[in-house]
Amino acid sequence: MTVRKELLNNIRIVDPYVPGEQPRQKVVKLNTNENPYPPAPEVKAVFDELKEDEFRLYPDPTSGKLIKALADQLKVGEDQIFVGVGSDDVLSLCFLTFFNSEKPILFPDITYSFYQVWANLYRIPYVCPKLDGKFRIVKEDYYKVNGGIIFPNPNAPTAIYEEVDFIEDILRHNRDNIVIIDEAYVDFAGKSAISLIDRYDNLIVTQTFSKSRSMAGMRIGYAVSNPELIRCLNDVKYSFNSYTMSCAAISCGAAALENTEYFKTNISKIVQTRENVKEQLRDLGFECTDSKANFLFVTHPRYDALKLFEELKEAGIYVRHWNDPKIKDYLRITIGTDEEMKIFLDFLKKKIGA
């Protein structure tokens, strides 16, 4: 049965966004910036103890247990946190809630690709200042008239982190605009801009459980700001769907925050692997940005990135490549375990080192 033209007239037609590949067969999976280590043991323990009654009942619409655990962890009020189904859900709601100006919002020309998708979906005008020759954000570009600002720190896929005073300079020049700092990777990098929340009422910081907390599968993200902006987000969220966070996400998310020791060890293992791999790639002639994330952004002067991407894939090693002309010579490589990175490096050594 084909749907008739008459019926299609009033349907919203959008450019389909196709998510990255999620191979289910056994591969060395270095393509979607997941954490190679399992979540804290507390998570599985809490998960296994979830009562059947919690399945049949609606979850707490305020996600109270998770909000409380985050507030304790981040040393902010419970009314300063908003949780959602991954940071994509949180960021998408932020676009809808906070970017309602006629003036264009600003985000870098090389950055997380979903910003453009949301801006188009919600018909928000936008301008994308260029990164400099070293893939750095030029802060002065964000001092001009705008309807809001968003960028990740560290930026993706460049992996470059800017210090908190850089963020503060942008906040100071944008007192009447909302500035969203997307800190998906900040735990691998340095200080969070959450430290500025009390001084800048225009700041929203988002973070996620998908990277440093090893919980991409459970879909948990959150925003931190002042109570007034968080209330605006909640009001919009409750008009879509009161119960977005499942019983499992709420309980496991709270449990994931309990074990700081495990968290720190996990992070430092990944950072150490990252620095080792960076060095070995440089020895092989690769150029890497100064990555502070759980991935590397690399190019080789003598090897075609797309070709290398395909050869790696054929060998069962998945990394990420974009056809965007600005970054088509680069690959993004997620930091896996030392064993996974050895397989990756051995392949490159055979190919390039020879």
In the window 23-62, what residues touch a second copy (CB under 8 A)? Answer: 24, 29, 32, 34-39, 43-44, 47-48, 50, 52-61
What whole-number distance in Å separates Cα of residue 207 and Cα of residue 184?
5
Amino acid of residue 186: V
Q: Does 350 engage in binding with a second copy (CB under 8 A)?
A: no
Contact status: 279 vs a second copy (CB under 8 A):
no
Span 156-215, contacts to a second copy by CB under 8 A: 175-178, 198, 201-202, 210, 214-215
Question: Residue 102 in 3-state DSSP?
Answer: coil
Q: Which range of residues in 134-142, 156-164, 227-235, 312-320 is near a second copy by CB under 8 A?
A: 227-235
Shortest spacing between CB 137 and a second copy, in angstroms: 23
Residue 217 interacts with a second copy (CB under 8 A)? yes
Q: Which range binds a second copy by CB under 8 A, 235-243, 289-297, 313-321, 332-340?
A: 235-243
Residue among 113, 242, 265, 268 that touches a second copy (CB under 8 A):
242
240 binds a second copy (CB under 8 A): yes
Query: Within positions 119 to 138, which residues make up the interface with a second copy, using CB under 8 A?
Result: 120-121
Residues in 58-97 that interact with a second copy by CB under 8 A? 58-61, 85-86, 88-89, 92, 96-97
CB of 54 to a second copy, least distance (A): 5
| Residue at token pair 């804290």 | 40
Using CB under 8 A, pick the residue from 71, 127, 164, 248 that binds a second copy.
Answer: 248
Give bridge partners of residue 318 from the DSSP assignment: 29
Q: Which is nearer to a second copy, 82 or 118 (CB)?
A: 118
Q: Is 230 helix (H, G, I), strand (E, B) or coil?
A: helix
In the bound state with a second copy, the residue whose beta carbon lies nearer, of 23 and 285, is 23
Closest CA to 333 of 284, 302, 289: 289
Long-range CB contacts (within 8 A, 24+) of 275-282: 276/338, 276/341, 277/333, 277/335, 277/341, 277/344, 277/345, 280/345, 281/345, 281/348
3-state secondary structure of 297: strand
**Minimal distance in Å, beta carbon 256 to a second copy?**
9
- Most distant CA pair in the chain: distance in Å? 62
The distance of closest approach from Cβ of residue 210 to a second copy in the complex, given in angstroms and rounded to an integer, is 7
First to last CA, the chain: 57
Residue 245 or 305 having the CB closest to a second copy = 245
Report the phi/psi class of residue 299: left, alpha or beta, with left for phi > 0 and alpha for psi in -120 to 50.
Answer: beta
The 10 Å Cβ neighbour count of residue 133 is 6
Backbone φ and ψ of 149, nearest 5°: -135, 140
By the rule CB under 8 A, 226 interacts with a second copy: yes
Of residues 2 and 323, the one with the C-beta less far from a second copy: 2
